[in-house]
Amino acid sequence: MTADLATYNFAYLDEQTKRMIRRAILKAIAIPGYQVPFASREMPMPYGWGTGGVQVTASIIGPEDVLKVIDQGADDTTNAVSIRAFFQKVADVAVTTHTKDATIIQTRHRIPEQKLTEGQILVYQVPIPEPLRFLEPRETETRKMHALEEYGLMHVKLYEDIAINGRISKTYAYPVKVDGRYVMDPSPTPKFDNPKMHMSDALQLFGAGREKRIYAVPPHTQVVSLDFEDYPFEIQKFEQDCALCGAHGVYLDEVVLDDKGGRMFVCSDTDHCEDRREHGHVGAMLATDREAAE
């Protein structure tokens, strides 16, 4: 570390701010799914880049922590790289790309494929924390609806989906009910990841910087995706396996390869994919490449 960085407090935020955010986090953990307002600070990155998640991480991180940052499941995309570099610089913490080695995982859009364990903390970057926002524009009204547990409107949205598309077409930010009480927006994660939130061993924290809200799902808490009795909740299913590691039953990204209709499906969780390849798993595309090389 160079001397000029000594002007920064550990993990960028000053101690009073961290204290304030920790109080909000504690309250959020005490009331699972409830959105706690907090005095969000300006961060050295634009809104939409994870200012909420960064503030949560900055408030809970200690010198002994090992940080992993993912963006759409990948460790090597711009958002992940810049946030990881940020904490290396201002907190001088160890970083990793391996899910199992991390104590804090900050994420945008995905929950790692590998099951999280006790003691790990998953920090979500949340753009719009209010699940009812696009149904009811008034903040005063949505707060009242949460307070009085009036969630019929959420089902009106799902009803509309079925009436128009024949099924519930919402694929991400799929609303969940936490601990039988609050309806929560799990941030724009694909609904594929919703079941992973249910009874998770890890603590899940959600930070929305622009909207100034923090909410949480404590470990071993019920997280139930909303649905109808005759149209139950379903996760996405993929016909293909990962082209690189052959993984099945994981969330896949579609990558367009050329302008002749060539495409591949590959694990969205890069760490999971690399780990599998290290252990000798080979997907269809990698196998053909090897044959060609030999």
Token pair, residue 259, equals 């302008």
Write down the least CB distance from residue 162 to other proteins, Å.
6
160 binds other proteins (CB under 8 A): yes
What tokens were used for 109?
Answer: 């859009």
159 binds other proteins, rule: CB under 8 A: yes
Radius of gyration of the CA atoms of the chain, in A:
20
Annotated catalytic residue 267: yes
Nearest-angstrom CA–CA distance, 145 and 132:
9
* Helix/strand number for the chain, H first, E second: 8, 12
Contact status: 166 vs other proteins (CB under 8 A): no
What is the per-residue binding string for other proteins in 196-235, x denoting contact by CB under 8 A?
-------------------------------xxxxx----
- With H, G, I as helix, E, B as strand and everything else as coil, classify residue 27: helix
* Beta strand segments in 35-191, E: 36-37, 66-71, 94-95, 104-108, 121-125, 176-178, 182-184
Q: Does 245 qualify as catalytic in the annotation?
A: yes
User: Among this protein's residues, is 33 annotated catalytic?
Assistant: yes
Strand partners, 68: 105
Q: Is 148 in the site for other proteins (CB under 8 A)?
A: yes
Which stretch in 3-11, 87-95, 146-154, 285-293 sits in contact with other proteins by CB under 8 A? 146-154
Among 5, 156, 199, 257, binds other proteins (CB under 8 A): 156
Binding positions for other proteins, 228-267, rule CB under 8 A: 228-231
Q: How far is CA 271 from CA 14, 97, 278, in A?
A: 33, 6, 11
Q: CB of 225: closest distance to other proteins in angstroms? A: 13
Report helix, strand and coil shares of the chain as percent, to nearest 5: 35, 20, 50
Q: In this structure, are residues 59 and 214 in contact, taking their beta carbons and an 8 Å threshold?
A: no
Report the nearest approach of other proteins to the CB of residue 183 (Å).
Answer: 13
User: Measured from the CB atom, is 10 or 159 closer to other proteins?
Assistant: 159
Stretch that binds other proteins, among 91-99, 144-152, 261-269, 282-290 (CB under 8 A): 144-152
- Tell me how many residues contact other proteins (CB under 8 A): 18
Inter-CA distances, 25 with 7, 54, 136, 184, Å: 27, 13, 26, 16
Q: Residue 163, interface with other proteins (CB under 8 A)?
A: yes
Smallest separation, CB 139 to other proteins (Å): 17
Positions in the binding site for other proteins (CB under 8 A): 144, 148, 150, 152-153, 155-157, 159-160, 162-164, 227-231
Catalytic residue numbers, as ranges? 33, 242, 245, 267, 273
